[in-house]
Structure 1
Amino acid sequence: MTSGAQANEETVEDKVVDFYDNFTETFRDIWGDNLHVGYWLDEADDAPIEKATDQLTDQLIARLAPQPGQRILDVGCGVGEPAFRLAGAADVEVVGVSISSYQIGRAGERARERGLAERVGFRHADAAELPFPDASFDGAWAFESLIHMPDKEKVLREIKRVLRPGSTLVLADMFSQPDTELTFQDIITSPQMDDYRAVIERAGLVIKEFTDVTANTLAPQAVRESIAAALLARKDDVIQMTGPEEFERMVDGVRVPQSYGYLLATVTTD
């Protein structure tokens, strides 16, 4: 029997939904439509965050190597920006999933506005229990979405289930450094890099590439200051979600090199 306190206890999934349902538009105002980190090609690259986030999407597109007519799953699709970029780069169908009903609604609206609704669709779904038949996708990617999923191995097995044999899955995610655990309000959990590799392998996936790209995700100082200024301009809105102490840590973390790492992984189902 479950006590009333236990029944009312908020799960990690509930917290993630609450965060993104309520914070997405503030995040977009500060960061842009890509709700993931940026990728800078080299030390001379001074791209603003909006371009740098597109450059990370391009890194995943290159690794996914989509072919015309394929059906691609976007796990943790945000408001759809990476899916739209993928659809613009290749003649594929993209299906995005998120547990945030708000994000799914906005992504669908944006697909219709862009005239892409016939090829790019979005479903409200839990990545741990995908509402798709076995072997129904030709490829998949996940942009910083596994970071919100405590049982990453279960999610990876579920993604593998809906992929056809020989399909490619590309992951972009943060990892904890040996001296720093990456956490945020119980909605972010991330193992160290070697442990992350082990999780992928236990899920029955074959690693083709596993690359530490942390250096490429370190924004130029001018970009950092611009993001920090945007955070400070929306201080009251952000504090509603983070609390004052976490807000200060967030601003400090933007201004100085982050203590977390970032990886890109290309894996196959067999």
Structure 2
Amino acid sequence: MQTAEPEVVATLYDSPEGQFGPTLFGGHLHWGYWDAETAGASFAAAADRLAEIMIERIRIGPGQRFVDLGCGVGQPAAKLARATGCQVDGITISGSQQRAATAMAEAEGLQDRLRFFHGSALEIPAEDASYDGGWFFESIFHMGHRAALLEAARVLKPGATLLLTDLPTLPTTSDEFRDFVQEHIHSVFVAKEDYPALMAEAGFELVEIEDISENVMPWLVPKLTEALEEHRGTLVEMFGEETEKMIENWIFLFEYMSENLGYMVVTARKK
């Protein structure tokens, strides 16, 4: 299967449905992390927690440079900059996301440490070995894993940490599902077992793969349903009489993904 052209992915996130995502997820554009202690957490709170988990795994500090590959509207990048004092460059294929992220950075007084670019993470506007760390935060499956990792390796310094979240296929993942997500959300997923070869080919040492499927996948549909109900008024304002169909589509997609994919955090080091 071939990955979609970047411009096609941009249409997904520039659409009204794509722009509604941060409203559901508390300013984030990724899923969340739940456990027994946080079972009552909203989707937004759990998304924030997952960003914190990612930040805990990054070795970066003041004066160092970090690249967010597929940065969305910039909320994780802002949390990282505040927590560590590093400078973050984010890149997104979505023009609406880049504008929203830039406005957020200015509103929060972080424009000196955050820059957001409209472009492809397969063609990063940076010289070789520019960054001390980077991540793909629920984004690499839109790009093609091999090409994305090779470009990340180009711009990262030797010894830099690369962190990513990904949704690995399962032994039970169906061909029908693969075709569906490629057509409708322009994504191609790979198996966890593919990662050692992918990382080695791109010039990374694979440090760890942490499977957190049980903290993500079973929670998706009930937490999404709660979030959709909480924001029903906004949905009606945006989609009018199409609201119920929109809700059905979101729930169907999350059900389908939770049945066919896992969730993992991958840590690697540039050789």
Q: Which TM-score band (shorter chain)?
A: 0.7 to 0.9
Provide the TM-score with structure 2 as the length reference. Answer: 0.85
CA–CA distance in structure 1, aligned partners of residues 126 and 197 of structure 2: 26
Contact 2:9–2:142 under 8 Å retained in 1: yes
- Counterparts of 1:68-217 in structure 2 under 5 Å? 68-150=62-144, 152-180=145-173, 181-182=177-178, 183-184=181-182, 185=184, 187-217=186-216
Compute the displacement of 1:124 (Å): 1.2
Contact 1:205–1:267 under 8 Å retained in 2: yes
Compute the displacement of 1:21 (Å): 1.2
CA–CA distance in structure 2, aligned partners of residues 143 and 238 of structure 1: 32
| Aligned counterpart, 2:262 | 261
Provide the TM-score with structure 1 as the length reference. Answer: 0.85
Give the total of aligned pairs: 255
Contact 2:67–2:131 under 8 Å retained in 1: yes
Candidates 11, 15, 27, aligned match of 1:18: 11
Contact 1:78–1:107 under 8 Å retained in 2: yes
Distance 1:61 1:221, change over 3 A: same
Deviates more, 1:223-232 or 1:23-32: 223-232
Compute the displacement of 1:12 (Å): 3.1
Compute the displacement of 1:179 (Å): 1.2
| Aligned counterpart, 1:7 | none
| Aligned counterpart, 1:43 | 36
Compute the displacement of 1:174 (Å): 1.1
Contact 2:58–2:133 under 8 Å retained in 1: yes
Contact 1:38–1:49 under 8 Å retained in 2: yes
Q: Percent identity?
A: 32
Contact 1:228–1:254 under 8 Å retained in 2: no
- Asked whether 1:27 is paired with 2:21, we answer yes
CA–CA distance in structure 1, aligned partners of residues 153 and 240 of structure 2: 36
Q: What's the CA shift string for 1:177-202, capped at 9, x where partnerless?
A: 12124525151110111124432222
The structure whose residues are more often helix, as a share, is: 2
CA–CA distance in structure 2, aligned partners of residues 239 and 94 of structure 1: 41
Contact 2:25–2:47 under 8 Å retained in 1: no
Q: What's the CA shift string for 1:203-245, capped at 9, x where partnerless?
A: 12111111111111132875343035358763884998xxx6x
Q: Which runs of 5+ in 2 are unaligned?
A: none
Q: Which amino acid aligns with 1:18?
A: T
Deviates more, 1:56-65 or 1:254-263: 254-263
Q: Which runs of 5+ in 1 are unaligned?
A: 1-10
| Aligned counterpart, 1:4 | none
